Structure 1
């Protein structure tokens, strides 16, 4: 059930030339994988970011997210998924070799954490930019709590080559320029949000949590208990994406616009300039005390939680919206993926092929603009699936123009897979393979038999083996650590990583030595740009 199937059919037909199909081979992906460092007994590491991994501030591939213990591995854009996976395996091998007896937690929801004070906030050194990054994270802790920030995910970056845009603009009867490409990416984003519920259904891997995650707080969810301290929902797919995870009550009223780039930029900039009475209680520089960067609804643009973001590579100290305003959208970042616990690097090759199909279909299909009601419907569908997605009786809100109805998840999904298979055949022809169709069929099997989804497999294993979430996570973390010890570097070399360590540390030192402004002046200058 896609909007106006004729538009989709015309796009597919227009891409049937040899040159157009060849351009599709230039689709590129990058991955950002987050992972907690854990101790041998499965608790959160309390040690600083290992110096042998280089500077978290300046390293290109190994950094930290919210916590010193929350690593983030970043791969550059590549057209071949196999290359990206080789890079990820190599990064994991090197990192684990520098961690002593520690291991990497293999799932999204955190391991056992004995209180929020045991989640060390990431430190980036003494430079102004380093202090800004840490202060932002202090603000996140004060605003939302540290536990939420210890959740890990996979970010999947996707971009289309210039050659494709030349063909696609002709199909759409438009001129190929930054404005056309940016608008097309926003069309993709809206369809993604319409169908985003399918991502946690297919890839959600967090139906259970460690009881320590709640820290004794009340919750609206009717959890069932397993073992000594595991809580789960029988039909949940991704508790990471639920109200337990990335939520911000103030953000729900922001009305971020996804209809076009100018309105998106305006709505995000408004959020980082709008005062929040809720955050007044935290210091923002008074007497030199920083408990947050400012008292606005968003401290900076990265605080906006969304399952997908339009992106442009930002220059040094350039705000994301300034980069978008100057150079348009160059790629999109999918943020709704749980860490896949059934693979050592958190993502499997087949996911790349299906996500290519999914995202290209989002682009090629008609994508009506959102109003508040239709946007809210997409949010409702996502919430239903993350907590109850495998319930055979679950229905979703389907809008077709003015017509709105409740339909079964499987019914809507089967219709979408009909479109996905057409896109997959196009990509197969372009690449001389059947990998895209095979990936689509594998995901369609999950739709038809939800016990094949990662969330069902994980929960069933916990129940069958009568294990706590933490027990199984620790077991897998040790298995993966041992496997990486035997892994042979295939893309990078040990010398590459050792060189990157030294260079990143030198780069951080140079930044610190070049600082000449007091921190408060630095922040004032940063936020005054493009005002």
Structure 2
């Protein structure tokens, strides 16, 4: 959405207009939180997805990610962050009440894992869709290994309401806010997020250390320091989850996914899905009668693309994400750079919602030039620097090709964020947004306040291993949530959801009338046409 107002101060003035500012009440937020089920000793649970939780394939709010042991809790979109958090807490309570003596691992980096074979791949049942979801995960294991897939994160889903885009577009002199214009504006937001997302691991990174079982090869341990019986860490790291040791994929560095326009994004992503891979050709076809991956292309499907942010449009049954985007444009964005917050029993706290609202609005209204390949590489280099050395005194980043102090750049960003927080405070008749921004700003001037520093400080001063510390938290959070009273859902409602999802899965399985081979061939033949 090209604006006639070209400076940030001009755009801020548009945002402050009552008809624009008041529309911000309709912002929607949703959370997807991943968490490993663990045994009392901290080892990975080997039990199947508990039937009492419902069908991982069909349940709207409780599913699994890569592994049977890797739960994923999904809230619906909410205008009020407190409601999103209330729903997330109720889901956690229900899960805890139905997993026996098991607990939920409170960190992003995995618990004690003997080997990759001890990470059970998620089972979605015998329907063709369920088999496809499991096969996709088998492909991930073969391509990248299971350890990386056992890492947990938090996804923050964010959308500005149509009322905002309508008011913003008119106040900016651009006329009607069409879906194409809205999609264009979301991509401007995404580009700015890429420029500034180094701030996320600095403020919220909580994985400066990890268990030695995660990095058994010597090359991975190189340059890391060891403490206790088997904890490895980098002294200034913020989020090893976002490093080469974590949930990234160096093989995708040459994909050249374009974030400048929706059509370019779709075509570059589809190209990766349609391009054969020499590396993954070794998993082509069947082994012992079983497929080893969905296909032998660079990406099996869109979800395989690792990115700290994604444009999203809800998909219909068997619809691919790129087809949904092509048909209906961008509906919301998914922020994927958040570590699990280990100081919250549900992995995220209310202040994070308030701060992320401010940051996302800033990314939406700040001028946003296209990203050249060089500029895109610069954003990646900045993110990597902060992930590995974010708390290093005097750390410098690159901004438009010039070196700049990370702290100075961060403080300049906070100067820009404070007026947005003030606008949101006025709209909601509160002060929580300004307080949240101020609290995060303190972390820039005092790195000891960051989660990564707090964790390392505890480990070094207590002599505890990373796993022991996490296990203590897991026990504490299980007790805390046992005392929580349902406030968004009722227990009966959650039980009914679980029961209904099992019925739905059984109906889907009974309705299948194709072999799995025919289903896969038809699925990719149809989607090949849509990519043409």
Shared fold, TM over 0.5:
yes
SS of 1:277's equivalent in the other structure is: coil
* CA distance in 2: counterparts of 1:466 and 1:214, whole angstroms: 21
CA deviations 1:275-328 (Å, max 9, x no partner) are 000011113347842110000000000000000000000001100000000000
Kept in 2: contact 1:169–1:180 (CA 8 A):
no
Structural mapping, 1:8-87, within 5 Å: 8-87=8-87
Match of 2:220 in 1: 219
TM-score, normalising length from structure 1? 0.97
Of 501, 505, 510, the match for 2:502: 505
Kept in 1: contact 2:188–2:364 (CA 8 A):
yes
Match of 2:124 in 1: 124
Q: Which runs of 4+ in 1 moved over 6 A?
A: none
Kept in 1: contact 2:276–2:298 (CA 8 A):
yes
* CA distance in 1: counterparts of 2:19 and 2:171, whole angstroms: 13
SS of 2:291's equivalent in the other structure is: coil
Of 421, 425, 428, the match for 1:428: 425
Match of 2:197 in 1: 196
* CA distance in 2: counterparts of 1:260 and 1:410, whole angstroms: 31
* CA distance in 1: counterparts of 2:476 and 2:51, whole angstroms: 25
Gaps of 5+ in 2: none
Structural mapping, 1:112-511, within 5 Å: 112-174=112-174, 175-219=176-220, 221-285=222-286, 288-399=289-400, 404-511=401-508
* CA distance in 2: counterparts of 1:253 and 1:284, whole angstroms: 25
CA deviations 1:302-355 (Å, max 9, x no partner) are 000000000000001100000000000000000000000001000000000000
* CA distance in 2: counterparts of 1:114 and 1:526, whole angstroms: 37
1:92 matched to 2:92? The reply is: yes
**Shift, 1:449, TM fit:** 0.3
**Shift, 1:18, TM fit:** 2.4
SS of 1:176's equivalent in the other structure is: coil
SS of 2:439's equivalent in the other structure is: helix
**Shift, 1:172, TM fit:** 3.6
Kept in 2: contact 1:15–1:167 (CA 8 A):
no
Larger mean Cα displacement after TM superposition, 449-458 or 210-219:
210-219
**Shift, 1:11, TM fit:** 1.7
* CA distance in 2: counterparts of 1:16 and 1:201, whole angstroms: 29
TM-score, normalising length from structure 2? 0.97
Gaps of 5+ in 1: none
CA deviations 1:379-427 (Å, max 9, x no partner) are 000000001000012100011xxxx211110000011001000111111
Kept in 2: contact 1:7–1:364 (CA 8 A):
no
* CA distance in 1: counterparts of 2:127 and 2:384, whole angstroms: 40
**CA 287–212 in structure 1, closer or farther in 2 if over 3 Å, else same:** closer
SS of 1:250's equivalent in the other structure is: helix
SS of 2:253's equivalent in the other structure is: helix
* CA distance in 2: counterparts of 1:21 and 1:172, whole angstroms: 13
Kept in 2: contact 1:115–1:215 (CA 8 A):
no
Larger mean Cα displacement after TM superposition, 6-15 or 406-415:
6-15
**Shift, 1:166, TM fit:** 0.5
Kept in 2: contact 1:205–1:454 (CA 8 A):
yes
**Shift, 1:215, TM fit:** 2.4
* CA distance in 1: counterparts of 2:523 and 2:478, whole angstroms: 41
CA deviations 1:227-270 (Å, max 9, x no partner) are 10000000000000000112223311110000000000000000
SS of 1:271's equivalent in the other structure is: helix
* CA distance in 1: counterparts of 2:222 and 2:30, whole angstroms: 35
SS of 1:163's equivalent in the other structure is: helix
SS of 1:292's equivalent in the other structure is: coil
* CA distance in 2: counterparts of 1:277 and 1:42, whole angstroms: 39
CA deviations 1:4-24 (Å, max 9, x no partner) are 995221222112232222100
Paired residue total = 524
